[in-house]
Amino acid sequence: MVKRLLKSLREYKRDSILTPVMVTFEVILDVIVPMMTASIIDNGIEKGDMNYILRTGGILVIIIAFSLLFGTLSGKYGASASAGFAKNLRKDMFHNVQKFSFSNIDRFSTASLITRMTTDITNVQMAYQMIIRVAVRSPIMFIFSMGMSFYINAKLAWIFLAASVLLGVGLYLIAIKAHPIFERVFKRYDDLNSVVQENIRGMRVVKSFVREDRENEKFHKRSLNIYQDFTKAEKLLALNSPLMQFCIYTCVILISWLGARMIVSDTMTTGELTGIIT
């Protein structure tokens, strides 16, 4: 299935490759920034070396500027790749429908085909953009950040590792609960489109037999089903934010507490503590 979908990339393969490349460069520079900040604090501010502060600060500004540039380019290429992929996929689906046999035409309803070529392709477009940007950025950021944390202070870095396991398990449980609901929602869309199509096609019949209330009731029922499913799914997904915030601030509190004791015992510098928190 994935190979078949990727055939629709065609002229947008270059943008699809450049997006993760730009994201990788952005992440590398983002991880360097806390190290530079720690160096400014330890070697510049605490020693009162203004020349070092200005020199390193200038390098830091350049790094941030390039990070912004790579982030902008990743957004540009990602939008081009995902929108172009959706355009080609929609075109391929339309031409494929023209080749349907009579058995396939009877199998797929018009409402279902409309949903596939509108809502579903839009979802595929958004998913593809997240894959080539967020799904690339997150693991790379995790690996580089974890490596830098262990490089700065291995004892405190274990806190990050424990929190990552807790966060991963929590997000996985939320995902497996929400996924079946979204699958059911897509089928609900087919029912809703079918009701709208039948109502429009048989508008004269509906008015002749005074069935407006009945049609309104049918539409309201389908719409209510979608609303209820989406509400249930969003309630589950809403747990993502508090779970992540809990893990983040727990890490900050533990690192601040343990790091402060290390600074007092001269086993860690203020700059290193700032860098590992960042």
| Per-residue pLDDT tens digits for 29-52 | 998 888 888 888 888 888 888 898
pLDDT, residue 55, reads: 92
User: Domain tally for the chain?
Assistant: 2
Q: Which residue has the tokens 């540039």?
A: 69
pLDDT, residue 109, reads: 67
Q: Please report whether residue 276 resides in a domain.
A: no
pLDDT, residue 189, reads: 75
| Per-residue pLDDT tens digits for 231-242 | 888 888 889 989
Tokens matching residue 75: 């957004």
How far is residue 130 from each of residues 37, 81, 100, 135, 265, measured CA to CA in Å?
Answer: 30, 11, 32, 6, 45
pLDDT, residue 102, reads: 65
Q: Are residues 157 and 62 in the same domain?
A: no
CB 86 within 8 A of CB 129: no
Q: Are residues 178 and 236 in the same domain?
A: yes
Cα–Cα distance between 39 and 41 in angstroms, integer?
5
Q: Which domain holds residue 171?
A: 153-268
User: What's the rounded mean pLDDT across residues 151-167?
Assistant: 89
**Given CA atoms 230, 232, 238, 239 in this order, what sign does their dihedral have?**
negative
Q: For the whole model, what pTM was predicted?
A: 0.71
| Per-residue pLDDT tens digits for 172-201 | 999 999 888 888 887 787 777 777 777 777
Band of pLDDT at residue 275, cut at 50, 70 and 90: confident
Q: What are phi and psi of 153, to 5 degrees?
A: -160, 110
Cα–Cα distance between 21 and 17 in angstroms, integer?
7
pLDDT at 14 over 80: yes
User: Of the residues 150, 178, 208, which one is the last residue of a structural domain?
Assistant: 150
